[in-house]
Chain A
Amino acid sequence: MSTGGAYAAFAPADKAQADDTAQSLAIKEGKKLFAVGCASCHGTGGQGTSDGPSLVGVGAAAVDFQVGTGRMPAQQPGAQVPRKKNIYTNAQIDQLAAYVASLGAGPTVPDKEQYSPDGANIGKGGELFRTNCAQCHNFTGKGGALTDGKYAPTLEGVDPKHIYEAMETGPQNMPSFGDGSLSKQNKKDIIAYLGAVNGDESESPGGLDLGGLGPVSEGLFGYIFGLGALIAVAIWVAARTTKAKKS
């Protein structure tokens, strides 16, 4: 809960100034949306309550990520807030983001160039992913378990912009990877790598990828379809042949 405030004190330089004039309309609309959908847990001024952390200093990027992936508004308590269907339009998300950004400076929404695969090194992205991310999210981002029911979600079907924002803001128990930890080019490479290996057009040369989960699913498949098929064949081979006349 103090993360937000502490972030403001210790965060690296690159963040927007709280800007009331340019987006004043967006902020006003955002404040209204906030009062309806967020204040009950996060407090009327975003200062936090016992049900939700303070949003001062989390920045527009955090809002864009959390609301954009449908995680927020959270529906029920639990180990972790799951991704679900997004209930706000893009314009509304921008307004909410503007309002929360006005509460205290924080990471901004990245622009397209920051997460586009152009100019990215996929090989290096893979290496960076395996060093920094795979321990939670698995080799190609299929997700993994954390303690006590928490989990690192699968990155399949996640918008590159949201991946960038997650790295910037460190949602819930995910640590943040600001520019001091992973540079902008690092993040770009990682996103390009994920696009190559975990997208809709990703290749799985050997066939069905069985979830990309490794030996556990391979073992299950081998037993059920491999040995299973062979036992079925064996039953045919050893079966009694049909007789000419029923006795």
Chain B
Amino acid sequence: MSETGRHEDVPEETLPGERETAHEGAVATAENPFADPGLPPHEHRAQDIDDRAARRSERTVALLFVVSMIATVAFIASYVAIPIEQNVYIWPLGHISALNFALGLTLGAALFCIGAGAVHWARTLMSDEEVADERHPIEAAPEVKAKVMADFAQGAKESQVGRRKLIRNTMFGALALVPLSGVVLLRDLGPLPGNKLRTTNWKKGVRLVNQSTNLPLRPEDIAVGSLTFAKPEGLEEDDEEFAEKIAKDALMLVRIQPQNIKDKHELSWSHEGIVAYSKICTHVGCPISLYEQQTHHVLCPCHQSTFDLSDGGRVIFGPAGHALPQLHITEKDGFLEAASGFEEPVGPSFWERG
């Protein structure tokens, strides 16, 4: 629907006359063909001159507001009538919550129509004559500035702060010092790190337990090319400190043919090709674990640090700064256990790491 109608709809006598050739403001003169011609004259909309068009606009605006009201009622009805657990299939959205869909559409319609009504009203019925308003410089007039300067000088003189250097200096001292109390209050936000960043719960003799099955691991559980995750024996998921402990202790176990292990030191800490590495990336601490069994590379999904688990866990790509720490493991009574704790801090680097 055209809001302004077509030309034929507007009675001849109400059309504006031919546009004036001379505009308000500066006219092109022989000296300056580029001069500002000034604001163009106002051109009427149909609604300005034709009452029927104006009344049509009014009805449109009113209709929009009425649709909004209906939508609000529909919102309330949906809220009351649609059960929260109901799902509905709507193409192309999928199996979605019926209530969310209904509430969102009705609310959206209710709000949108208010806005559309207001804007249509403004565009078609309110005056669209462009008006020019004067700007005033932001800077104050020189007299004002002079008065302010004089007042300030007078006030400063009366305070005597200029003469009394002792007052001034000690005042700065006091004001500078007092915020320190606020800073000091923050000390108890947390404990000091102590040794916590350097140690994990792995120690000599601690058995490796399969994170998924919760059973202690035996060497024959780990096949070549497999991937298994382990935690220290005694750590349960409902422990109060489980999250803090697993954030350091999480372990990744893979098995590589001994002849494919390039690093001698790694080989000496493995058990029949089973190698245990920290699962915590040395970049910023994500649990890496994208193990590619044919290349023996493990990729961290966060920032793509790549480590070679057949070569001492060294970094071969990406932003990690140092190799993945390996845990020395051994077998006792048929089960895998740690031969010692980690010999370096696990996880991201920190200043005191060494």
A residues contacting B by CB (< 8 A) are: 2-3, 6-7, 10-13, 128, 131-132, 135-136, 144, 146-147, 150, 152, 170, 172-183, 186, 201-209, 236-237, 239, 241-247
**A200 CB, min distance to chain B CBs, angstroms:** 9
Known: A6-B225, A241-B124. 19 other contacts (CB 8 A): A6-B224, A6-B257, A12-B221, A12-B223, A128-B212, A147-B295, A147-B317, A170-B226, A174-B293, A175-B254, A177-B226, A180-B217, A180-B226, A181-B222, A181-B228, A182-B213, A201-B95, A204-B96, A246-B7
Whole-angstrom CA separation of A144 from B293 in the bound complex: 16
Q: B183 contacts the other chain (Cβ, under 8 Å)?
A: no
Whole-angstrom CA separation of A206 from B94 in the bound complex: 10
B residues contacting A by CB (< 8 A) are: 2-4, 7, 10, 15-16, 19, 43-46, 48-50, 87, 92-97, 100-101, 119, 123-124, 128, 210-213, 217-218, 220-229, 254-255, 257, 287-295, 297, 299, 301, 304, 306, 317
Whole-angstrom CA separation of A245 from B13 in the bound complex: 13
**Contact partners of A242 in chain B: CB under 8 A:** 2-4, 45-46
**A140 CB, min distance to chain B CBs, angstroms:** 13
**A136 CB, min distance to chain B CBs, angstroms:** 5
Would A176 and B289 count as touching, CB distance under 8 A?
Answer: no
Given A131-B212, A132-B212, A176-B226 in contact, is the A244-B290 Cβ separation under 8 Å? Answer: no
Given A176-B223, A180-B226, A241-B124 in contact, is the A247-B19 Cβ separation under 8 Å? Answer: yes
Report the nearest A residue to B124, measured CB to CB. Answer: A241
Would A186 and B212 count as touching, CB distance under 8 A?
Answer: yes
Would A186 and B213 count as touching, CB distance under 8 A?
Answer: yes
**A15 CB, min distance to chain B CBs, angstroms:** 11
Would B128 and A175 count as touching, CB distance under 8 A?
Answer: no
Report the nearest B residue to A242, measured CB to CB. Answer: B4
Tell me the interface secondary structure of chain A in the complex: loop
Would A178 and B289 count as touching, CB distance under 8 A?
Answer: no
**Contact partners of B43 in chain A: CB under 8 A:** 243-245, 247
**Contact partners of B289 in chain A: CB under 8 A:** 135
**Contact partners of A176 in chain B: CB under 8 A:** 223, 225-227, 293
Would B295 and A173 count as touching, CB distance under 8 A?
Answer: yes
**B170 CB, min distance to chain A CBs, angstroms:** 54
**Contact partners of B292 in chain A: CB under 8 A:** 146-147, 150, 173, 175
Could you write out 28 A-B pairs with CB less than 8 Å apart? Answer: A2-B257, A7-B224, A7-B225, A132-B212, A135-B287, A136-B290, A147-B292, A147-B306, A176-B227, A179-B221, A180-B220, A180-B221, A186-B212, A203-B94, A203-B97, A204-B93, A205-B100, A206-B100, A207-B100, A242-B2, A242-B45, A244-B4, A244-B7, A244-B10, A244-B46, A245-B7, A247-B19, A247-B43
**A137 CB, min distance to chain B CBs, angstroms:** 10
**Contact partners of B293 in chain A: CB under 8 A:** 3, 170, 173-176
Whole-angstrom CA separation of A183 from B217 in the bound complex: 12
Top 10 A-B pairs ranked by shortest CB distance?
A180-B221, A175-B227, A205-B97, A173-B292, A181-B228, A242-B4, A243-B43, A175-B293, A176-B226, A203-B95
Whole-angstrom CA separation of A244 from B291 in the bound complex: 71
Given A174-B293, A205-B87 in contact, is the A10-B223 Cβ separation under 8 Å? Answer: yes
Whole-angstrom CA separation of A246 from B18 in the bound complex: 10
**Contact partners of A152 in chain B: CB under 8 A:** 290
**Contact partners of B221 in chain A: CB under 8 A:** 12, 178-181
Listed residue (A131, A152, A176, A244) with the most chain B CB atoms within 10 angstroms of its CB? A244
Listed residue (A3, A6, A135, A209) with the most chain B CB atoms within 10 angstroms of its CB? A135
**A170 CB, min distance to chain B CBs, angstroms:** 5
Would B255 and A10 count as touching, CB distance under 8 A?
Answer: yes
Listed residue (B48, B124, B220, B224) with the most chain A CB atoms within 10 angstroms of its CB? B224
Would B100 and A244 count as touching, CB distance under 8 A?
Answer: no
Whole-angstrom CA separation of A146 from B48 in the bound complex: 66
Report the nearest A residue to B95, measured CB to CB. Answer: A203
